[in-house]
Amino acid sequence: MRDHVVRDVVSPVNNAYGIYANNANASAFTGNVIGGTDSVDDAYSDYGIRLAQGSDNRITGNQVHGSSNINAIGIAATAGDACFDNYLRGNNTPTTGCDASLGNF
């Protein structure tokens, strides 16, 4: 997934996802701009990018501006995924699960 703009994803009763991929293997997520992802209920999480299962993915060069929700996560990846050179703002947890997480700011 490359060069997409995702704005203002709001979920009133569940997790909110800007980009969600399940079972992605050896894929690239680059150059995406994600902002305004918000789960209205603080019991749930806001994700800029969420990769569930899969591995060996490259997540780089993305711009994620999340909410101030206590459960806001910029990038949630799985073991074997590399997350680097992403611009993450407004997220309480910038990255989780990345095998390599370098140069994210």
Residue ranges of the chain with pLDDT lower than 70? 101-102
pLDDT, residue 70, reads 82
Non-local (6+) Cβ contacts of 12 within 8 A are 40, 41
Give the Å distances, CA to CA, from 35 to 25, 51, 78, 88: 25, 17, 22, 10
As a whole number of angstroms, the distance between CA 16 and CA 48 comes to 8
The one-letter amino acid code at 51 reads: L
**Is residue 25 assigned to a domain?**
yes
pLDDT, residue 66, reads 78
Give the Å distances, CA to CA, from 77 to 54, 80, 95: 9, 9, 8
**Is residue 104 assigned to a domain?**
no
pLDDT, residue 41, reads 87
**Is residue 105 assigned to a domain?**
no
Total number of domains constituting the chain: 1
pTM over 0.75: yes
